[in-house]
């Protein structure tokens, strides 16, 4: 089969996502073209510190080819067109007129790439690109068009204004909606009966507990036990108040946070606490060496419409390394991870469970967690997607 991925996530980003992991797995047996997000005029003239976006812009300015071979069956495309920044438009009907123009620019370049790759028949998987790919089913005419729902994007202001009405319409006209959590599957079925849970994956070769990882230099002088978090530090997803309470009430523990911070975190009291350490962003390839040296991993989410039903990929990354985990209670945590994690319903319980996680850990529990993650192999997720495609083609 031939697959075209449309995504808000770049294939060469520092962190894996459902779309990048799925694309890499499918490329082992199928041909895949991964289309990176196009550059809009606002981004073009902004001071962006994302090295991958900067490289894309440089490529456009120098007139270099955007089609790149990643592996034997795997290609990426950086579009050369500059699309217009139109989210400021107040009316969705007017936004849609200009959005279709943007879609046509993108479709033209994808068509050119498909011709070069001789990919006449193909299946589109659209990962949450509800604006720039809204019309690509009509413009590119794929065999099947699958919408991948893996985050509550429309809860964010940028997407809410037009996405509240456009995303349901996009789901409805898709041939199927594939979802990485049961909550998303339930929600998607309101708009498309062909909505299916496909799970989520982890790179088991990267997060390999059998490797003897060297202790990262930043951790060598940090006192144990180390309580660690890996991921973007965003106040819309994490409970800063809970985190401050945990650090203050556990002076005998060191709390290490790895990931980029938003302004709320940068300005938070956490930075003044002596047993809290912020190490910044780390490339995904070296993240396992940090997790391997954590005693307990945490996911102190704030419970809201963004987090209540999402699938936290970091949980399976932690588990694949055999680590004990304490996480805030959400629907997905209860549905999928209650047997192998400590799930906290409040601040006091979270702190108590940290002690329990430290004291109860044992080799047998670590082996149980590692075994549990085998079901989250990307191969299993890819097979679930192929099963969905077979089902909708038979109907």
> What pTM did the predictor assign?
0.90
Tell which residue, 249, 170, 223, has the closest CA to residue 6. 170
CATH code, 217-375: 3.40.50.2000
- Looking only at the bridges linking them, the beta strands covering 123-127 and 2-7 are parallel
Whole-number Å distance between alpha carbons of 295 and 293: 6
Residue 365 — pLDDT band, cuts 50, 70, 90? very high
Domains 2-201+377-394 and 217-375 agree in fold? yes
pLDDT, position 17: 86
Tell which residue, 320, 226, 313, 216, has the closest CA to residue 13. 313
Whole-number Å distance between alpha carbons of 76 and 71: 10
What are 159-183's pLDDT values in tens digits? Answer: 999 999 999 999 999 999 999 999 9
Whole-number Å distance between alpha carbons of 71 and 90: 43
Burial code (b: 16+ CB inside 10 Å, e: under 16) for 307-345 equals bbbbbbbbbbbbbbbbbbbbbbbbbbbeebbeebbbbbe
Residue 275 — pLDDT band, cuts 50, 70, 90? very high
pLDDT, position 48: 74
What are 96-129's pLDDT values in tens digits? Answer: 999 999 999 999 999 999 999 999 999 999 999 9
- Class for domain 2-201+377-394, per CATH? alpha beta
Whether residue 36 has pLDDT greater than 80: yes
Instruction: List the chain domain ranges.
Output: 2-201+377-394, 217-375
Residue count of the chain: 395
Residue 47 — pLDDT band, cuts 50, 70, 90? confident
Mean of the per-residue pLDDT values of the chain:
94
Whole-number Å distance between alpha carbons of 80 and 67: 10
């Amino acid at each position: 089969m031939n697959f075209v991925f449309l995504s808000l996530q770049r294939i060469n980003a520092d962190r894996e996502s459902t779309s990048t992991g799925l694309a890499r797995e499918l490329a082992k047996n199928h041909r895949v073209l991964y289309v990176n997000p196009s550059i809009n005029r606002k981004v073009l003239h902004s001071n962006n510190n994302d090295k991958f976006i900067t490289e894309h812009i440089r490529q456009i300015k120098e007139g270099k080819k955007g089609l790149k071979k990643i592996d034997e069956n795997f290609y990426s495309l950086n579009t050369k067109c500059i699309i217009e920044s139109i989210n400021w438009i107040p009316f969705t009907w007017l936004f849609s007129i200009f959005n279709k123009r943007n879609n046509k620019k993108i479709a033209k370049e994808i068509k050119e790439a498909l011709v070069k790759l001789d990919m006449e028949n193909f299946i589109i998987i659209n990962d949450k690109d509800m604006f720039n790919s809204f019309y690509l089913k009509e413009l590119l005419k794929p065999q099947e068009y699958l919408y991948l729902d893996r985050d509550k994007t429309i809860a964010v202001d940028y997407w809410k204004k037009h996405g509240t009405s456009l995303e349901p319409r996009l789901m409805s006209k898709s041939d199927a909606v594939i979802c990485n959590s049961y909550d998303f599957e339930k929600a998607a079925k309101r708009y498309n009966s062909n909505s299916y849970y496909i799970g989520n994956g982890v790179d088991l070769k990267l997060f390999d507990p059998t490797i003897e990882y060297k202790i990262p230099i930043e951790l060598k002088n940090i006192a144990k036990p180390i309580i660690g978090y890996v991921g973007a530090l965003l106040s819309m997803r994490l409970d800063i108040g809970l985190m401050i309470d945990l650090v203050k009430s556990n002076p005998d523990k060191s709390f290490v946070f790895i990931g980029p911070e938003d302004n709320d975190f940068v300005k938070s009291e956490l930075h003044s606490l002596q047993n809290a350490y912020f190490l910044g962003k780390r490339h995904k390839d070296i993240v396992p060496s940090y997790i391997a040296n954590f005693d307990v991993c945490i996911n102190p989410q704030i419970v809201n419409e963004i987090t209540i039903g999402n699938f936290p990929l970091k949980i399976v990354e932690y588990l694949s390394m055999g680590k004990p985990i304490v996480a805030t209670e959400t629907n997905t945590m209860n549905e999928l991870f209650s047997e192998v994690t400590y799930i906290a319903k409040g601040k006091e319980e979270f702190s108590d469970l940290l002690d329990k996680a430290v004291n109860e850990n044992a080799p047998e529990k670590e082996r149980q967690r590692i075994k549990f993650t085998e079901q989250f192999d990307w191969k299993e997720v890819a097979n679930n997607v192929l099963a969905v495609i077979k089902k909708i083609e038979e109907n």
